[in-house]
Structure formats: structure tokens, C-alpha cells
Amino acid sequence: MEETMQSGGTGRSVATGVLRVAVSIIVPVVTFVLLYAAFIFMRDSDASRLLVAAVALIVGVFGVWLIYIGTDMVVSLLPAGIRERVRPFVFVGPALVVLTAYVVLPAVSSLYLSFLDARADEFVGLANYVFIFTDPAMLIVLRNNLLWLIFVTAFAVGMGLVIAVMADRAGRWEPVVKSLIFLPMAISAVGASVIWKFVYAFRPAGAEQIGLLNAVVTALGGDPQGWLLLRPWNNFFLILVMIWLLTGFCMVVLSAAVKGVPGELLEAARIDGASEARIFFQVIIPTIRGTLLTITTTVLIMVIKVFDIVFVMTSGQFGTQVIANRMYQELFTFRNSGRGSALAIILFIAIVPFIIYNVRSLREARR
């Protein structure tokens, strides 16, 4: 009887093991087959656009989940000692593959192309980089990017911090104030550019002005202006759009940091006779220094690669060109892969220091 039970238990464990192996193999295989079929279907130009969108949504949400589940089943079959060492890479692996395919390899390819001529046929060395740093038009592009970096970062972060501190004292109106200021973040950069293009819209004197700014100017007795044609002030009119977009983002992040300042510290400063301005500069700012530096580097990274605002509003004309927009034009308008790749590498090199700083800040915060 006992032998029969043991043999039955052994049979069930063997069957369970075989079933686990079968499922662990079948699930990943079926998942990859279905994903492959879905990708082929989504490339079909004759398929229904609505159906393609539905398939893309299903693949994006459930496809990745099935891949992780199936791979985890396979890892579960490994010996216990190896299993826990391998399992983290099941979740990190796909991200590393995607980063390698869409970041590392394109970066290496761009670096290689930056040393070639326009058609990528002949090696020209540093000629593309020399052109970027010596051509008068390119120097204006670099100057414009510097203007964006200085003014957008200073005003967006500065105004975000001031509004965060002031809104904190608005009492029951605080949610309303913050919601209104944060509202532009719900709009895409392209949508904001279209809105502000109407604000700056220009028609000759005597014609009805559809642009808000010119309507106000003419109502006050002035002459309408082509705001996006006025050099170099048109750069500042574009910069204003990004400040409008990012101020709410900075305010929300910094508001959370300001609320974390101990109330006892503020009260002690007031008892000692410190003015509100002194409390702001000598108590609040030093206390939230980490958050302030993090949000500043984040805004710098966003600003240095600005493209959509310039592309939609002026296409880089009238002296408003920036690096990302010029890179796009070199690659897809002028068909000069050498100069376009060189601009991409310069943009990448300019962003790397900020990324390194953010990584170091995160590591220090975890200690």
C-alpha cells in the first residue's frame, strides 16, 4: 500500500514537472509567435486603422507582460542557486536590449557618420565639427541654444520656486492657483506652439488683427508687429513659450520640497527677527537645495534638446535656429548625414554631464 502511494506520488511529481517544462517552453514560444504576427499585421497598409490601433494597444500592454511571465517560467526551472542570480536579468534584460538597439548602436553609428562626408562615402575627419564651430550661421545656432539654456532655466525654475512658496500661503485657494499654473503641462509642446503662434499672429496695419498681442497693441493705438520676425527678440518670444510650459512643472516639484521644510525651523527664524526675504534665501533654499539642483538639471536637459517649439513656430527661420532643429534639417532636408550626425553627437555630449550629475545625485540620496 505504502509503495503504491509512493509510486503514485512520484508519478504525479513527474507529471507536474513535465507539465511545468512544457508550459515554460510553450508560453514564451506562443507569445513570441503572436507578437511577430501582430507586428506583421500592424505593418499592413490595407488593414483597418482602428483595428491596428487596438492590436498595438493590446501588444503594448499585454505583450510585454506575457514575455516577462513566460521568461520567468523558464527561469523557475533552473536550480535554486542559479535561479535567483538569473531572475533579475529577466526584468533588466529587455530594457538593456532596447537601450542597446535604440540608444547605444545609433550613438556609435552617428559618431562614425560624423567623420564622413554628406553622402557617407568619404572620410573627412573633423571637417564637420570644424564647420559647426566656425560657420557664422552655425555660431548663431549655438548662441541661440545658450540663450534658451540661460533664460528658460533661470525663469522657469526661479518663477516655479517663488510661486511654490507664495501658493503655499494661499490657504484654501492653493489647489486652484496651482492647478491653473500647472495647466499648460497638460498641453503638448506642439499644441502650445500652435496656441502661441496665434498669440503672435501678424497682419498688416489696417487689417483686422487675429493675434492676441497685436490686437492689444492696435487697441492701444500702436502699430502691429511681426513678433516672430524681429531679430534677435524673436528668440525670446519663443523662449517665453517654454517658460510658460515648464513653470508649472517646476512649481509642483518644488512645492512638495517647500512643504517638507520643518515648520519649527521657519518659526525659529521668525522669532529671531529674520525677514521673509532672509528666510527664503537663508532657510528655505538651503533646505531644498537637493531638489532645486535636481529640477534645474532636469530642465536643462529638456531645454538643450528643444526642437518642436522652434519647428512649429518658425522652422528655424529669422535667426531662431537651434541645434536639434538644424540637425533635423541637415539630415532630412539637406541630406547631409555627416553634419547632421556631428550635430547629434554635440547634442549628446552637451547632455551627458547633466545625466552624470543626476545619476550621482540619486546615488547620494540613497545613502
pLDDT of residue 185: 84
Residue with cell 550613438: 107
pLDDT score for 140: 92
Q: What is the pLDDT of residue 10?
A: 60
Q: At what angle do helices 105-113 and 337-366 cross, to 10 degrees?
A: 140
Residue 126 and residue 255: Cα distance in Å, rounded?
47
CA gyration radius, the chain = 29
**What was the pLDDT predicted at 322?**
92
The parts of the chain modelled with pLDDT lower than 50 are: 2, 5
Where exactly are the structural domains of the chain? Answer: 2-113, 127-366
Straight-line distance from the first to the last Cα atom of the chain, in angstroms, rounded to the nearest whole number = 61
Cβ–Cβ under 8 Å, residues 236 and 155: no
pLDDT in tens, 119-176: 888 898 899 999 999 999 999 999 999 999 999 999 999 999 988 888 877 777 778 8
Residue 102: what pLDDT? 78
Q: How many CB atoms lie within 10 A of CB 295?
A: 24
Q: Which fold has domain 127-366?
A: MetI-like fold (1.10.3720)
126: left (phi over 0), alpha (psi -120 to 50) or beta: alpha
The predicted pLDDT at position 142 comes to 92
Three-state SS across 226-241?
CHHHCCCHHHHHHHHH
Whole-angstrom CA distances from 326 to 120, 153, 245, 269, 311 are: 18, 22, 23, 51, 10
Question: Which contacts (CB < 8 Å, 24+ apart) does range 179-182 have?
Answer: 181/247, 181/248, 181/251, 182/248, 182/249, 182/251, 182/252
Q: What was the pLDDT predicted at 5?
A: 46
- Provide the whole-model pTM: 0.76
